[in-house]
Amino acid sequence: MAIESTNGWLDESELSVEDDAQIEEYELISTPNDFNVSTIFNFINRGSVKIPVFQRNYVWDIRRASKLIESIILGLPVPQVFLYEEGMNRFLVIDGQQRLLTIYFFMKGRFPKKHGRAEFRRIFSGTPAEVDEFLADDNYFQPFKLSFAKFPDGRKNKFSGMTYEGLGEYKDAFELKPLRNIIVKQVRPADDDSSIFEMFNRLNTGGSNLQAQEIRTSLYHSKFMESLFLMNESPRWRQLTGSPNADPRMKDIEVILRAFALAQSVDKYSGSMTGFLNRFCKTAQKMTEVQVQKALETWGWFLRLTEGLPNNAFHLATSGRFSPLFFESVFAASVRLRDSRDDLALTSDKMTAIAASIGNFAQEGATKTKNVTGRYEATLAVLS
């Protein structure tokens, strides 16, 4: 499988999408609003505006956060925020999480320490009382005091050390500062949120704000989506990827998602990986607790199936990097054979044979229907 790779633990070129299929025609309502800072804080505080649980953690340091607060105080422009309307007075943050959380933390007077940020993501979906109790824990938070580098002549920024309660004459200007937000709601088709994904996917093309899987995870939040994060922490999976830590942009989550989607419905694949994954995620929102547990059990079963393989079993010989196409093909075929083959086993010889047999289906246009089904059928033939 001779595929050009980029830097990193996996071959990112295999996750790139060549979808040229015609998209649906949509009817959207897009409403600009200028909520002031105080109103936005109250919305977040009472849970009307939600930060999706499985977006990336809060990553800003105190200096960057202080710069945002200073910009608001001084009346400087702040990038707009995008919200998706889930229901009446219920909004999901699609773009702007770091900015909104910075405002929230500042007005709460607490700034998260690095080791508490992942835990806060979980607690934040709880009750206001639970959130406030966690914010008060000095093990995870510290007082939010504005911090800036000194000027070249040694002078300190006049806002250095200030807290929200200590803003004095600047407090009203801060609270009343309007922040532009765009609220988007899909009217038609009424049975999916595909236009929202399409819009933000295009909005972020060429940028570094949100990756496709980050958007997808936010829009299609479910118990199954939560389970993907548990799967991603599996020690054997981390060995197979060659990276001990989860990818901050959720590329590893996307690999697992693709594997499950193909295992369940590769016969329904129709040439658009984006649309295929979005439809699968929408269906997964209806999964029962039993079905989610079965998915977790299937993941554990497959990882045990790989225990006799070297850690780099799914890495390309040409680049030394993890191959999503290789992995998803073996996973999907193995799951399909699970009930009919008690003697199913993965050996180094079989992996070598699979890599050779799917090479012709892993070149240009890797997400075209003939290549996706070709890799699957070739892998199925070797394992059978």
- CB of 195 within 8 A of CB of 24? yes
pLDDT classification of 340: cutoffs 50, 70, 90: confident
pTM (predicted TM-score) = 0.60
Alpha carbon distances (Å) from 227 to 50, 126, 217, 245, 255: 20, 18, 12, 17, 14
For 38-70, write each residue's pLDDT tens digit. Answer: 999 999 988 888 775 545 678 899 999 999 999
Please calculate the CA angle 219-281-327 and round it to the nearest 5 degrees: 120
What is the 8-class DSSP label of residue 322?
A: B
Q: Tell me: the pLDDT tens digits for 238-283?
A: 999 999 888 877 899 999 999 999 999 999 998 788 889 989 998 9
pLDDT band at 14 (very low <50, low <70, confident <90, very high): confident
Comparing CA positions, the residue from 284, 254, 283, 263 lying closest to residue 338 is 263
From CA 363, how far away is CA 16, in angstroms rounded? 12
Strands 49-50 vs 27-36: parallel, antiparallel or unpaired: unpaired
Q: pLDDT digits over 131-179, tens only?
A: 899 999 999 999 999 999 888 887 898 999 999 999 999 999 999 999 9
For residue range 78-109, list pLDDT tens digits in order: 999 988 887 787 888 877 889 999 999 999 99
Does residue 213 contact residue 257 with C-beta atoms inside 8 Å?
Answer: yes
Q: How crowded is residue 195: how many other Cβ atoms within 10 Å of its Cβ?
A: 20
Mean pLDDT of 173-197: 79
> In whole numbers, what is the pLDDT of the chain averaged over residues?
85
Q: Is the pLDDT of residue 209 over 60?
A: no
What is the C-alpha separation between 299 and 259, in angstroms, rounded?
Answer: 10
- Residue listed under structure tokens 């943050």: 93
User: What's the confidence (pLDDT) of residue 114?
Assistant: 84
